[in-house]
Copies of this chain bind each other. A is one copy, B any other.
Amino acid sequence: MVTIKDVAKYANVSIATVSRALNKDDNKVKPETREKVLHAVKELGFYPNAIARSLHHKKTKMIGLIIQDISNPYYPRIVRGVEDAAQKHGYTVVLANVYRSRQRTQNYLKIFREKRLDGVIICGGGIVKNAEQDNFFKENIMSTVVIGKPLVDDLHSVQVNNFLAAKDACEYLINCGHKKIVTITGPKESTTANDRLEGYKAALMKYGIEPKEEWIIQGDFQYESGYNAIDYFPGIGKDKITAVFSQNDVMAIGVIKALRERGFEIPKDISVIGFDDTLFTASHGLSSVAVPVYDLGKTAMTILADLLAGNDVPLITTLPTKLIIRETC
């Protein structure tokens, strides 16, 4: 591997000069000298060692991105948003799927710290309150931006108002004449799921409908839990249940599949509304609450870059959602 020394020798200058010639902003080097250096660089195929540079600058120009599971269609666009913005600001992203495991999260946080990443973006329920992680963030070892609700105070975040969005969606159903509405929830630890659940309840209450225990069906944001939810429905039909508010799309697609297999027509027999509006909801004709996932990612990265540049950034940034009505309700 060719080093700065080789270039210096080849160009007949000191390594200090090579360094200066390469860091453009520094115009304290004679044009001819720079030419010589640039020529040597090309000739030898020199690629400056970013590791050595990092050691000096104490910056790696890399950030970590912690997500729960890239194969959940909610995440890819977030990743894209983060990466596009990262690229724009000169950062490179290290990806970490933690599958909601505290262990894996901790492990990656440790690796990120050792590798001296400049910052980290944490997506969703990763940050379970817990001594060691708490320390990690409290000590402010790494600039951090959370996508979603941070469980640790003082962390910057970009969010969506899940409570209101869920409430709106459910109110829409109620205004369509539905009075008995089931909801399929996300995992218990998820604050996102929790907010959506509260929004559901609030909508019902607003219209004087008492949300029954049996209407709240525990899901986990996975397809199967939507598909199986039907087994827990307290019956389907005018006097039973006429609509389902699925707290994400994947589960909504699951219920729809199960519903159709049992001969129910949608929305004739029962309405379904999802959440997230991820890829393919359109092809399923699924009504859903659109979450601007790409922008969540992009904004999070932009905020992180700002933070790293020493700029002031508001603690919470909220992005708007949008109810999209298609064919399932």
Of the candidates B71, B223, B254, B283, which one forms a contact with A253 in the assembled complex, judged by CB atoms under 8 Å apart? B283
Assess whether A114 is in contact with B47, with CB atoms less than 8 Å apart: yes
Q: Which residues of B contact A49 (CB under 8 A)?
A: 55, 114, 116
Assess whether B283 is in contact with A94, with CB atoms less than 8 Å apart: no
Q: Is A325 an interface residue (CB 8 A)?
A: no
A290 to chain B, nearest CB (A): 15
Q: Which residues of B contact A62 (CB under 8 A)?
A: 94, 115
| Interface of A toward B, CB cutoff 8 Å | 1, 45, 47-52, 54-55, 58, 60, 62, 65, 69-71, 73, 75-77, 79-80, 83-84, 92-97, 110-111, 113-116, 139, 223, 253-254, 256-257, 279-280, 283-284
Q: Which residues of B contact A95 (CB under 8 A)?
A: 65, 79, 83, 93-95
The 6 tightest CB contacts between A and B, nearest first, are A50-B114, A95-B95, A71-B76, A70-B76, A50-B115, A47-B113
Q: Which residues of B contact A223 (CB under 8 A)?
A: 283
Assess whether B55 is in contact with A52, with CB atoms less than 8 Å apart: yes
Q: How far is the CA of A326 from the CA of B259 in the complex (A)?
A: 18
Assess whether A51 is in contact with B48, with CB atoms less than 8 Å apart: no
Contact A80 to B76, CB < 8 A, known contacts A47-B114, A111-B92: no
Q: How far is the CA of A230 from the CA of B30 in the complex (A)?
A: 64
Q: Which residues of B contact A76 (CB under 8 A)?
A: 70-71, 73, 75-76
Q: Which residues of B contact A77 (CB under 8 A)?
A: 71
Q: Which residue of B lies closest to A64 (CB)?
A: B92
Q: Which residues of B contact A116 (CB under 8 A)?
A: 49-51
Q: Which among A51, A77, A93, A280 has the greatest number of chain B C-beta atoms within 10 A?
A: A51
